[in-house]
Amino acid sequence: MDKFYIEGSRVFKALGDPRRAMIVDMLSCGELCACMILEKFAMSQSTLSHHMKLLCECGLVVSRNEGKWTYYSLSAEGIAKTKQFFCDITSNKENCICKELNPDQCCNVND
């Protein structure tokens, strides 16, 4: 399986959970401390930590430690990359050679 799709789909997998989509929405209004996010949800602290880890690992969210607090915010680069990936796989490509190629080489994708 092509790295291009594995890495690109990671953000979508993270956003595939409605709670994480909601967290991203909250962060779009500005940086938030983990404890502030936790206040809004009926989930345990360990569960939230797990979700935040996934959001960070996929590159959409970045964290910053200040004393004993951890602040989370959206990554402009992560957002841009996600939009780019979505456009890449949904926009019509000229001279498409999907039908002649293996999946690993599909649609002029560079791995």
Partner DNA sequence: GCCTCATATCGATATGTGTCAATATGTAAA
Partner DNA sequence: TTTACATATTGACACATATCGATATGAGGC
Task: Identify the DSSP state of 34.
Answer: H
d(CA 16, CA 36): 22
CB under 5 to 8 A by kind: which of DNA, its own copies, none does 110 bind? none
Q: Of the ranges 34-42, 77-85, 88-96, 103-111, which one interacts with DNA (CB under 7 A)?
A: 34-42
Instruction: Kindly write out the interface string for residues 58-87 of this chain, putting x where it contacts its own copies by CB under 8 A and - elsewhere.
Output: ----------------x----x--xx--x-
Q: What SS3 state is found at 29?
A: coil
R_g (Cα) of the chain, nearest Å: 17
Of 63, 6, 76, whose CA–CA distance to 33 is shortest? 63
Min dist CB 14 to DNA, Å, is 8
Instruction: Kindly write out the interface string for residues 20-49 of this chain, putting x where it contacts its own copies by CB under 8 A and - elsewhere.
Output: xxx-xxx-xxx-x---x---xx--------
Q: Does 106 bind its own copies (CB under 8 A)?
A: yes
CB 46 within 8 A of CB 34: no
Widest CA span in the chain: 56
Residues that bind DNA (CB under 7 A): 13, 16-17, 19, 33-35, 38, 42-47, 49-54, 63, 65, 67-70
